[in-house]
Structure 1
Amino acid sequence: MTTEPNFTVDAEGPLTEDRARWAADAVRTAADAIEHAIQGKRRVIELVLATAIAGGHVLLEDVPGTGKTALARALAKSMHGTSSRIQFTPDLLPGDVTGITVYDQKQGVFEFHAGPIFANVVLADEINRASPKTQSALLEVMEEQQVTVDGRTHPVGNPFLVIATQNPVEQAGTYRLPEAQLDRFMIKTSIGYPDDAAMMRILQQVTRTPEVPTVMNIGTLTQLQQFSRVVYISPLIAEYISRLVEASRRASEVRLGASVRGALSLARMAAAWALVAGRTYVTPDDVRELATGVLAHRIILEAEAEFDGVTAEAVIGQILLDTPVPQENGTA
């Protein structure tokens, strides 16, 4: 059973309480469906759904075997979309990701053969194992949802979500993602190991593959994306986001702070997170809850700070403690 979009919204119009409640119900239904495949990870599922609603991409830094592939497939199945998996290796070429142009001798023309990037949900597994040249093939498509091959542009469609993974433990033979690539991921998070109760449920299902029901269609997700664009962000909330980003640039441990794209990502992610909660406006708590995941991977620490064991997450955490919180609930 799929959830059909019940409303249409003008990009300039307001978001009503009824529409926000419908959006929250749609997200909750999708999260329930995905939990058939990913047990005990409700928050991560909601973060990935919120990122899809915000039109962003997810970087999962996690050890092997925690369910990253299952999460990507379950998300695509829940919304009746297409999914693909790209295993990044040192010998992977850019054309293996984006596709190539092949000459058809019978027709006497060149034809474009689309690569695995042409899907609604793309799992880029162990992205840091590919060469920088292959990694850079994702830059255009992640930002503009299109691929340019031999001078011709091919749109990948909408919705489009990249879930990239990297292993934080095994670093031999890997290539660190460049800052420009990291900046295109809206949020960085991890799935982690399940708790005891979730592990028991997983073991009890070991002899059968969990069936993920299709509970929405592509139109529903597109509608949710339209709603998130008109979630109200008050001037005080916008100023709070700006102060957080500016503080990340002034921190003594930081060599390069968060970019303007980082500030925009935090605002868009907060709007989607408010919609997941069924609200028409962003609160300071939305920003505080998401700031570390959205900003930490965008900053570069000083070498001395890294040597002393300082982490980007700790820097953002201290910034959140030091930056005054707006004394309002964000309503219009």
Structure 2
Amino acid sequence: SIVFNLETRKMELRKGPIFGNVLLADELNRTPPKVHSALLEGMEERHVSTGGTTENLPEPFFVIATQNPIEQEGTFPLAEALMDRFLFRYILSYPTLEEEIRILKSQDYVPDKFDPFTPEKVKALKQMVDKIHVSEDVMKYVVGIIRKTRDHSMVYLGASPRTSAKYLHAARANALINGRNYVIPEDIKMMSHELLNHRLILNPEAVVSAGNNV
């Protein structure tokens, strides 16, 4: 935001949380539309506009957000354009008995050593991901999946061409994690649900049929 500095008698930019490398947006679907607009600009353009000026965001920059179930009071659906900027969406349920006990036990845990993940390390990994090979057959496989979402009887609005590029980027990263310099179909299959579930708009009948499994 732009604030007036009493000492210098000038208007100055006071940078907020969005100027960090990692932005955690908690309960995003409880925030007003102007927050969504600013976040959309930052995630897509990698800069924000305020007070008639444009400020670049740091590199790397990525957003982690949470949202409450739409059935809860004070929440509302996020715009498709904003949802599409998130690479994955994970739908979390209540933890199991064992998981909840493990959460309680780990509340006071402090690791003996902590190796910070610096921006330089992230940049280096991104360069490695970009070098992962993707064959034309795998590209056709991805495009075939995306195109199929557009003519499925249960889907009102299918995935956009942007999704194909994000799909391949995520598949490259998964290949790197598994020690390969090339993408295989399994890299595509394992992330399909998390990558597509927030990019498809289902028909009303499909929503009722799927329930909480959407």
Same fold at TM > 0.5: yes
2:181 is aligned with 1:283: no
| Unmatched tracts of structure 1, length 5 or more | 1-99, 315-332
Aligned to 1:304: 205
User: What residue identity is the alignment partner of 1:273?
Assistant: N
2:69 is aligned with 1:168: yes
Bigger RCO of structures 1 and 2 (CA < 8 A, at least 6 apart): 1
For residues 92 and 136 of structure 2, what CA distance do their matches in structure 1 show? 34
Aligned residues: 213
Structure 1 residue 106: Cα displacement: 3.6
Is the Cα contact below 8 Å between 1:231 and 1:281 reproduced in 2? yes
Aligned to 2:43: 142
Structure 1 residue 253: Cα displacement: 1.1
2:110 is aligned with 1:210: yes
| Unmatched tracts of structure 2, length 5 or more | none
What TM-score do you get using the length of structure 1 for normalisation?
A: 0.59
* C-alpha RMSD of matched pairs (Å): 2.2
Structure 1 residue 195: Cα displacement: 4.9
For residues 306 and 198 of structure 1, what CA distance do their matches in structure 2 show? 29
Deviation per CA, 1:192-243: give whole Å up to 9, x if none: 555555544443344x243371254221111001111111011000111100
User: What residue identity is the alignment partner of 2:204?
Assistant: A
User: What residue identity is the alignment partner of 1:243?
Assistant: G
Aligned to 1:156: 57
Is the Cα contact below 8 Å between 1:299 and 1:312 reproduced in 2? no
Is the Cα contact below 8 Å between 2:46 and 2:57 reproduced in 1? yes
Secondary structure at 1:210 match in 2: coil
For residues 143 and 64 of structure 2, what CA distance do their matches in structure 1 show? 27
Query: 1:183/1:202 Cα in 2 relative to 1: closer, same or farther (>3 Å)?
Result: closer
For residues 114 and 97 of structure 2, what CA distance do their matches in structure 1 show? 25
% identity of equivalent residues: 38
- Which has the larger displacement, 284-293 or 162-171? 162-171
User: What residue identity is the alignment partner of 1:177?
Assistant: L
Is the Cα contact below 8 Å between 1:127 and 1:164 reproduced in 2? yes
Structure 1 residue 299: Cα displacement: 0.9
Aligned to 1:109: 10
User: What residue identity is the alignment partner of 1:210?
Assistant: V
Secondary structure at 2:143 match in 1: helix
What TM-score do you get using the length of structure 2 for normalisation?
A: 0.90
2:159 is aligned with 1:266: no
User: What residue identity is the alignment partner of 2:53?
Assistant: R
2:21 is aligned with 1:125: no
Aligned to 1:93: none
Is the Cα contact below 8 Å between 2:167 and 2:195 reproduced in 1? yes
Aligned to 2:123: 222
Aligned to 1:253: 154
User: What residue identity is the alignment partner of 1:176?
Assistant: P
Deviation per CA, 1:237-288: give whole Å up to 9, x if none: 0111100000000101111100111111111011111111111011000001
